[in-house]
Structure 1
Amino acid sequence: MATLTFHPLNNADCTRIDLKDGRKILVDYADMRNPDNPSDPCIDLPAALRQDLRAVDRDYFDIVLFTHLDKDHTNRAGDFFHFERFSTRQCDGRIKMHELWVPAAALTEEGLDGDAQIIRQEARHRFIEGKGIRVFSRPGRLKDFCEKNGIRLEDRLHLVTDAGKLVPGFDDLNAAGGLEIFIHNPMAWRLNDREVEERNDDAVVFQATFREGATDTRVLFASDVDDISLGHIVQTSKAHGNQDRLRWHVFKIPHHCSYKSLNWADKGVDKTVPTEDVRWLCEEGAEPRHDFHQRDHSRQGDATR
């Protein structure tokens, strides 16, 4: 049985997905705990993840997905993971990433520092090498990046998944992992319409469908996108007859929530009325499930199907 673990990190994200075939996927990593504050409600994220990996005698995640490079999705990742690009970040105890998944903007964005820069350099290194990475969407800037680095985008398209597509290797619910991943965002045309990357707008949004026996459970991961991005996702899905790809039993909501993800242009004083597309997604996209059970694992927030 697959499990989802949502780690308590205040206004930050890290979700662990354990598949029934033993593979492990990590969606974002933000170690936000203050070790000098004993009352800090944030989990000791590196300790919790290492403990989970030790229990199955491994030092790696099969996939680590950074939905975008903001601090609340990458904090202290440079201290936790093994990076092939940096010999100084390969010591014992670092956790390996067999595959690194990132939005295209994570390769093309300039002017970064800290953990975001480390992840960008690792993504660039793997993409140039042509292995150990998956990139979501192919805006014009990705082709420019390839040309600047002496490679052809056409030779790397097997590493790229566009919005509106299933991820290769996660496109068959009857396979051992019982997981299907459908990508909603980023959309290349939106990146091409802007001169610079916008991390939240260009973040990875996806639907994960888990199959257990004859039962499918859909989980929608919305990263940090705002109401405009959600509207584009809803409208595009409807236009292509992909409304089912927005159905959900579990919705990992954008943690900007009502501040930006309901109706950014018309926020109420006490209550914000969502845009029609967001209302449709939250109300009509929801699928009731009487056999879904949520299990509280204290600080680890474990929701299990």
Structure 2
Amino acid sequence: MFEAGDRVDGFTIDEFVGGGASADVFRAHREDGDGPVALKVLHPNAADHARVRERFEREFGIASLLDHPHIVRMRAHGEIAAPPGSLGPRHQPSMWLAMQYAAGPAATALVPGDNAEPDVDTILRVAGQIADALDHAHGQDILHRDVKPANILLSRPLGSDADDPTPVDAYLSDFGIAQFLDDTKPLARNGRVQGSIGYASPELLHAHRLSPASDNYSFACSLVELFTGTPPYPRHTAFAITYAHINDDPPRLTRRRPWLPSAMDSIFAKALAKAPQDRYPTCTEFVDILVRLMRDVPVPEPGRSRWWGRPRHP
């Protein structure tokens, strides 16, 4: 779509960062700006779809209402006019969002691979920051509705790719399907629930009215994946995943990580309770309990495929 040096409404493209089905993301800068930004540009062929444009506009509109150090900050937005006659008379202008740039990957980079151990210290640090971000959004009557590791951005590269010894910070991103608590729009379109099914709360899957407890459930699902390597209900079909969220008992993390304290299972059982009122009332309370539990627990070296215990300190 764009190359280094191209200009988009006053922004100069530095490099391509990544892309998806409907948009590409570039690192860019503005000559009068104060640092790099992430420039998210809607694909021209996606700009004709009203639902895609609505999600793009919603991402900027809702996220710009939130002022929190661990929520990606929105800078500006606009449109890119299409060349005359391109793609027919119904073609809509493309759209762009400029937002805070995070130099690291998504938190999916923290998901341990097969036979590897999680980076507990970094996971708990990230969890505390995102918990505070979610609680802040909920305090503003905003539900994210798509909490998952892919929508958590990290401040710097991890592991062997990292030259910076400073601790990793995390930022909650992608408010494209967020909603206000009093929003009465349907949660499903054409019978399909909007959201990521692997992290979806039972009430979201039932298309019931949502509360902050739904985000709290998705957040707990994300932490299950960061600790164990998979979401809580790894199944082969969407139907099987949906059934498990609604009917199956929460997973026991100690089966995958025998070195975890047994209390971890009961903590996550509450965080993943089927009934919203049975979960922790805030994400911060949930994480605070995890941090206290893990404070003196010896943990394996991150990434190793066998036990190498090391002490942890408060």
Q: Bin the TM-score by the shorter chain.
A: under 0.3
User: Which one has the largest radius of gyration?
Assistant: 2
TM-score, normalisation: structure 1: 0.25
TM-score, normalisation: structure 2: 0.25
